[in-house]
Amino acid sequence: MSAILQVIGLRKRFGGIVVADDITLGLRPGEVVGLIGPNGAGKTSLFNLITGVIRPDSGTIMMDGVRIDTLRLSERAQMGIARTWQHARSFPSLTLLDNLLLGARDYPGDSLLRTLLQPGISRRMEAEAEQRAMQLLERVRLAHKAHDLASDLSYGQQKLLGMARALMSEGACLLLDEPMAAVEGRTYAIMREVIEQEAHRGQAVCIVEHNVGFIRDLCSRGVFMAAGKVLADGPVDELMKMKDLTALYFGAAA
Amino acid sequence: MEYLLTLAILAALSAVLAIGLNLVLGYGGLLSVAHPIFYGLGAYASALLTMQANVPIPLAIVLAALGCAAASVPLALCSLRVSGDYFVIVSLGFQLAVLQIINNLEITGASGGLSRIPTFAHGSDRNLICLGVLLVAVAATLVLVRTLVQSPFGRALTAMRNDEEALSALGRDPVRMKISIFALSAGIAGFAGGLYAHIFQFLTPSQFGIETSTALLTMVVVGGTATIWGPLVGALLMTCVPQAIQFLDLPQAIGGPIQGMIFSVLVLIFLFLRPQGLMGGSRGGGGLDAWSGRRPGRSSRRPDVIVERLAEEVGS
Cα torsion for A135, A137, A139, A143, to the nearest 10°? -100
Q: DSSP label at A150?
A: G
- Answer whether A18's CB lies under 8 Å from A228's CB: yes
Q: Tell me: the pLDDT tens digits for B269-296?
A: 888 888 888 887 654 333 445 565 666 6
More confident residue, A212 or B50: B50
> Which pLDDT band holds residue A147 (cuts at 50, 70, 90)?
very high
All structural domains of chain B, each given as residue ranges with its CATH number in brackets, are: 2-315 (1.10.3470)
Please report the pLDDT score of residue A96 as a whole number: 95
- Answer whether B50's CB lies under 8 Å from B198's CB: yes
ipTM score here? Answer: 0.91
Please report the pLDDT score of residue A204 as a whole number: 95
Please report the pLDDT score of residue B285 as a whole number: 37
**Residue type at position B277:** G
- Answer whether A133's CB lies under 8 Å from A165's CB: no
Mutation pick from B161, B170, B172 vs chain A, by most beta carbons of A within 10 Å, is B170
Beta-carbon separation of A184 and B291 below 8 A:
no
Q: What is the pTM of this model?
A: 0.87
Beta-carbon separation of A95 and B173 below 8 A:
no
B164 touches chain A (CB under 8 A): no
More confident residue, B188 or A242: B188
Please report the pLDDT score of residue B299 as a whole number: 58
Q: Name every chain B residue with its beta carbon within 8 A of the beta carbon of A186.
A: 316
Q: How far is B39 from chain A (nearest CA, A)?
A: 22
Average pLDDT over residues B24-38: 91
Mutation pick from A149, A176, A183, A186 vs chain B, by most beta carbons of B within 10 Å, is A149
CB atoms within 10 A of CB B129: 15
Q: Name every chain A residue with its beta carbon within 8 A of the beta carbon of B166.
A: 85, 89-91
**Residue type at position A218:** L
**For residue A253, is pLDDT > 50?**
no
Please report the pLDDT score of residue B286 as a whole number: 39
> Which pLDDT band holds residue A201 (cuts at 50, 70, 90)?
very high
Q: Tell me: the pLDDT tens digits for B61-95?
A: 999 999 999 999 999 998 888 877 888 899 999 99
CB atoms within 10 A of CB A197: 12
A residues 142-201 lying closer than 8 A (beta carbon) to B = 146-149, 151-157, 165, 168-169, 183-187
Crossing angle of helices A185-201 and A155-167, rounded to 10°: 10
B302 touches chain A (CB under 8 A): no
> Which pLDDT band holds residue A8 (cuts at 50, 70, 90)?
very high
Beta-carbon separation of A149 and B300 below 8 A:
yes
Residue A114, helix vs strand vs coil: helix
Beta-carbon separation of B169 and A51 below 8 A:
yes
**For residue A252, is pLDDT > 50?**
no
What does residue B120 show for φ and ψ, rounded to 5 degrees?
-100, -5
**Residue type at position B49:** L
A77 touches chain B (CB under 8 A): yes
Please report the pLDDT score of residue A13 as a whole number: 93
Which of B9, B39, B24 lies closest to B189 in space, CA to CA? Answer: B39
Q: Name every chain B residue with its beta carbon within 8 A of the beta carbon of A110.
A: 156, 172-173, 176
All structural domains of chain A, each given as residue ranges with its CATH number in brackets, are: 5-90+155-250 (3.40.50.300), 92-152 (no CATH)
A residues 89-118 lying closer than 8 A (beta carbon) to B = 89-95, 97-99, 101-103, 105, 107-112, 115-116
Counted across chains A and B, CB pairs separated by less than 8 A come out at 145
DSSP B168-195: HTTT--HHHHHHHHHHHHHHHHHHHHHH
**For residue B183, is pLDDT > 50?**
yes
Provide the mean pLDDT of chain A. Answer: 90
